[in-house]
Chains A and B, each alone.
Chain A
Amino acid sequence: MRILIIEDDRETADYLRKGLAENGHVVDHAPTGPQGLAMALESVYDALIVDRMLPGLDGLSVIQALRKEQLNTPVLILSALGQVNDRVRGLKAGGDDYLVKPFAFSELLARLEALGRRTSPEEKVVTTLRLADLEMNLLARTVTRARHPIELQPREFRLLEYLLRHAGQVVTRTMLLEGVWDYHFDPQTNVIDVHISRLRAKIDKGFDVPLLHTVRGAGYTLREPA
């Protein structure tokens, strides 16, 4: 992906640039609001990472200006302001996701890749989600693997749906908490891990190739067997 980082803190920007480049992304950097806005309007990017507190023009104003120009590039807001209403304000201004500083790089990468995927043209109304021999019917709310029906609780169904919609990507615990439970905080117990292992028992147990994998230090991924 081609990514523009609008961030005034040199060290954070370098850290992001290095990490993203290592993961195969092309990164540009703008240290001020106006410069970032100009660059975002001039070139085509797959995603923007925007800090909220920027010199010249604050991050939310940059996003608002971009949206006014009908530029729909996905934006990940990066901010030290982490209160509930800060987040609401950020998303209202046109941000697509909101990550509070300090953050884990794996979290940022997972969210950024999820955002980049979101704009892909395949985002249509789908009634069936499929991965290898796993199939989910969204209308009948049924799941089968290799034609064997799998019984899922409503919440397990939503968990699997989220993973299927992000198939091939790393999904972090906080992404699952936000996407499936609408929890914008992190419960301190490993609640998600237990839900995942339950789900894994239902969809992978008894099959030769596992589909649901744990990504150490990051989260989980549902992917096709290699």
Chain B
Amino acid sequence: MNLPNLTRTSAFRLTLLYMTLFGASVLVLLGFISWSTIALIERQTDETIEAEIRGLAEQYRERGLFRLVAVIHDRSADHADQSNVYLLTDPTLGPIAGNLTNWPAETDAGGWVHLTLKKREDGKSVAHQIRARTFVLPGGYRLLVGRDTNEKDKFEETIKEAVNWSLALTFGFGLIGGVFISRRMLARVDRVSTTAQGIIAGDLARRIEISGSGDEFDRLAENLNAMLAQIERLMSGMRLATDSIAHDLRGPLTRLKGRIEMALRCPPETGQDREALADVLAQTDAALVVFDTLLKIATAEARTDAEDLETLDLASLAGNAAELYEPVAEEKGVALDVDTEGQARIRGQPQLLAQAIANLLDNAVKHTPAGGRITVTTGNRGNGVALAVADTGPGIPEADRARVLERFVRLEESRSTPGAGLGLSLVAAVAKLHDATVHLDDNNPGLRISVRFPADPRGDGVNGGAPEPDNRLN
């Protein structure tokens, strides 16, 4: 971490801005204090001078010139306070008494004047600023009373020094603070960058370290980590999909190829080629169904259809699907019951949900022997909605239940029935798209698959009331 890098951080720029603002406010504050204090001192000086002039004028009026001269002598004597300046002149400006040598050349309208006196102090000549007032006494005598303003100047000096120091400290501390904060922030941002670079390099499992302080960086890191987890999930889903396509389309395609080659070897006059073509077409269709289902699963998992969700009634979807499968079940000697308690509103994608329900029913019909019973139920469960399809077939051993939701998993027992083993994977993918969970339980005997959806956050959720007559099948 070099310095130019540091000064380019936003934290540093922010610190600099604060520093400037703080410096400016210090300046304004001290400026105001000095201005008002100086004004006060000046006013006091002026008042003192005026009071003294009044006092001296009174002495003159009451006890005459001699007394005045004596007083001035006394006050301006060497041992007296050297910060006071006096001068008494005759009407021709000839000095009579006082510690000032010359009458000032000019005074302003109020008789105020500003003088600079040089005094020897400790062998050095020091300039003193004097504020003075002139006054004309009856008889034409002129009186000047002044005061050394060094006190005020010293104060001004002190203030200036204070301002300089404050500014220096503000900037000093600000700079150090800025560098410190920037370094801290940069260190954390750098950690995120390092993680990102690791991920770019291909290590998708890496995550940003969380300090545990719960600050904004932690929140950012948590969100980024969630995003990374989602990306990783999608990537592995995609990889699984392509792997599955490669793996499971190879089977049907190999059979297809074999069938074509066999047909080609047959002599044309046997007339077997039409039969072979029909067979080839059927196998092509089967391969296309696998392909299509894989695409659907991948899309549902990637949630690209998530914006197409609408409010729908799961009970009516279930009733519809049950109605579609009821004749097939009946033909097989299996009873199909629907038990929907009122409406079951959720936000969902109707086509995908319908297909998921159809897949569940398809499985149930396939695996339930004659004389069995399939029950479809929907209803409001707690603050959600549940759909369940239960059959009285052989069921699934507990150990295999989680596995059947994966792609292309067909249990040994079901090898004899047709299917690609994608039905339940699609159900799982559709459930995931709807933030629903899939549960496989024992139906004693048989299998009970339930999908639990969160309630529609927009609708009123629970609507009791009679099921639509169209959904009843008995």
Contacts and interface: CB of A to CB of B under 8 A. Distances in A.
B151 interface: no
Interface string A71-88: 000000000001111001
Contact of A191 (B289, B304, B327): B327
Interface string B327-338: 110010000000
A190 B299 contact: no
A187 B305 contact: no
A189 B365 contact: yes
Contacts of A154: 470
B327 A195 contact: yes
B308 interface: yes
A108 B349 CA distance: 27
Nearest to A195: B327
B354 A185 contact: yes
B299 A83 contact: yes
A189 B351 contact: no
A186 B470 CA distance: 22
B264 interface: no
B328 A190 contact: yes
B288 A102 contact: yes
B327 A194 contact: yes
Instruction: Classify the secondary structure of B's interface with A.
Output: helix
B196 to A, nearest CB: 32
Instruction: Classify the secondary structure of A's interface with B.
Output: loop
B437 interface: no
A187 B362 contact: yes
Interface residues of A, number: 23
Contacts of B285: 104
Contacts of A104: 285
A85 B308 contact: yes
B161 interface: no
Given A83-B305, A85-B305, A102-B288, A184 B328 contact: no
B351 A183 contact: yes
A183 B354 contact: yes
A146 B64 CA distance: 154
A23 interface: no
A124 to B, nearest CB: 27
Given A84-B351, A181-B324, A183-B354, A189 B308 contact: no
B419 interface: yes
B143 interface: no
A184 B384 CA distance: 27
Nearest to A216: B278
Contacts of A84: 305, 308, 349, 351-352
Given A82-B292, A102-B288, A194 B331 contact: yes
Contacts of A85: 305, 308
A25 interface: no
B238 to A, nearest CB: 16
Contacts of B349: 84
B273 interface: no
A198 interface: yes
A191 B325 contact: yes
Contacts of B299: 83
A188 interface: yes
Contacts of B320: 181
A191 B361 CA distance: 11
Given A83-B305, A88-B308, A183-B351, A155 B323 contact: yes
A82 B285 CA distance: 16
Given A183-B354, A194-B331, A188 B305 contact: no
Contacts of B358: 183, 185, 187
Nearest to B323: A155
Nearest to B308: A85
Nearest to A85: B308
A198 B305 CA distance: 37
Given A84-B305, A85-B308, A198 B327 contact: yes
Interface in A154-211: 154-155, 181, 183-191, 194-195, 198
With a 10 A CB-CB cut-off, give which of A186, A194, A195, A198 has the most chain B CB atoms: A194
B289 A186 contact: yes
B355 interface: yes
Contacts of A190: 328
A195 B362 CA distance: 15
B362 A189 contact: yes
Contacts of B470: 154
A215 to B, nearest CB: 15
16 contacts: A82-B292, A83-B304, A84-B349, A84-B351, A181-B320, A183-B358, A187-B355, A188-B418, A188-B419, A189-B325, A189-B365, A189-B366, A191-B325, A191-B328, A194-B331, A198-B327
